[in-house]
Amino acid sequence: MSSERARITIFDTTLRDGEQSPGCSMNQQEKLRLAHQLDRLGVDVIEAGFPIASEGDFESVKAIAEVVRRPIIAGLARACRQDIERAWEALRQAERPRIHVFLATSDIHLQYKLRMTREQCLAQAREAIELAKSFCDDVEFSPEDATRTDPDFLCRVLNAVVEAGATTLNIPDTVGYTVPTEFAELITRIRRHVHGIENVTISAHCHNDLGMAVANALAAVAAGARQVECTINGIGERAGNASLEEIVMAMRVRPDRFPYETGIASEQIFAASQTLSEITGVPVQPNKAITGRNAFAHEAGIHQDGVLKNPLTYEIMTPKSVGVPDSKLVLGKHSGRHALSMRCEQLGYQFDRRVLDDVYRRFVRLADKIKHVEDHHLLELIRDTHKPSMSATPLIEPIVPGHEAVVNAPAHEPEKAVALPNSNAFGLPLPVHSEAHHEQTQQEDYLWGV
């Protein structure tokens, strides 16, 4: 069996479908800036816009086609002469142009939106592809609402457009209706029933209305699709599109299940995400996979303890592999002594076990009140614990300790840490305890971390 991994084409539609997300419209300069970042990211196809939609969109597609030379530049067009001619006018200076033609094929769209019969749809699709092919060798066809289209009729349309010259068949789950097993079955059916399918690329375009866009796209790839259409941060109509970063990193992290390759430079993912967020003013949700601010943040004590010892305990990819500067340990009420002790050392303080216990109890009470404990909170808490009378504005009510706190390194002149034979994955020394004391520390961290 060949060990060669199949190459998946990454078709980015952030500048077209993504821009249709409410509040995410972009002007020409913003589109051009993001197009350059997508080029650095290594996407294979940039769908730069919908040229017929407005003069601004036409000029944006034209500008991108003229200056971004490596990737294929695609322009969207409805299956009519005016749209296709306008798309070609915008794309004609591209090094590698593609006209992307779409026409709805589901009965609900034909009846209520287009008011045409299936036979009229079939004829219009064929004529549109023939016209696009007269301008451009690279022509993509999308049967809009494919997943709610009668499968037999869908295959009739796809046969007609392949015969007319389409080089890519994109299968859109326009309203995010399908599920992975069903979508895989549809791709398999298309491969079996469309003549000449071996000479064209099957593509998947999935929306996230049921939260399964990425899963559906991956299922399509497993069934034989070799292009996926996706967006940065998963932006797009309604609930959005399949997220580029999630698809790419699923393949990168799980090659045992997804033995495919892409041309994506994953170290540019975070930069692309941040660029898009800055341009649109729409922040990335904190718990967004790969690019959310919590994707590599840890608050639970059990997790912090594990990450400090070896990041692989709770991270399935390194932050730097997607361009994130580093992991982040968030100090909150779920944090354990290990993370608290490490942060105190980074701030210049080193406590013996008894004083650390006192600081930790105060820390948990404070974290219950303010959720996230920042460095300035922690410094005042330490000073309050060490010399309560000198704290001008104590953050919490004092707990009278049974001894005076011992601080090995004052804040104004931190003492250099003693070199230890072992260090954690962050290059910081691991504390040395007796075996019994170590077991006690571990167990207490686990109890507090749950």
For residue range 96-114, what is the model confidence (pLDDT) as tens digits?
Answer: 999 999 999 999 999 999 9
Please check the confidence at residue 448 and state whether its pLDDT lies above 70: no
Please check the confidence at residue 251 and state whether its pLDDT lies above 70: yes
What is residue 348's predicted lDDT score, i.e. its pLDDT? 65
DSSP code at position 300? S
9: left (phi over 0), alpha (psi -120 to 50) or beta: beta
Phi/psi of residue 159, nearest 5 degrees: -60, -40
Q: Average pLDDT in the 185-209 region?
A: 98
Please check the confidence at residue 446 and state whether its pLDDT lies above 70: no
| Mean predicted lDDT score pLDDT of the chain | 83
Q: Which residue has the higher pLDDT, 425 or 136?
A: 136
pTM: predicted TM-score of the whole model, two decimal places: 0.76
The upper half-sphere exposure of residue 387, i.e. CA atoms within 13 Å in the direction of its Cβ, equals: 6
Query: Rounded distance, CA 33 to CA 283, Å?
Result: 18
Above pLDDT 70, what percent of the chain? 78
Tens digits of per-residue pLDDT, 294-329? Answer: 777 655 565 656 655 777 776 778 888 998 766 555
Q: Which residue has the higher pLDDT, 338 or 124?
A: 124
Least confident span in 167-171, 250-254, 430-434: 430-434
> Which H or E element spans position 203?
strand 201-206
Tens digits of per-residue pLDDT, 321-375? Answer: 998 766 555 667 677 777 777 767 766 677 788 888 888 888 788 888 876 777 7
Query: Position of tokens 């040395």?
Result: 432
Domains of the chain: 6-280 (3.20.20.70), 297-449 (no CATH)
The strand pairing partners of 142, in sequence order, are: 102
The strand pairing partners of 217, in sequence order, are: none
Phi/psi of residue 351, nearest 5 degrees: -110, 150
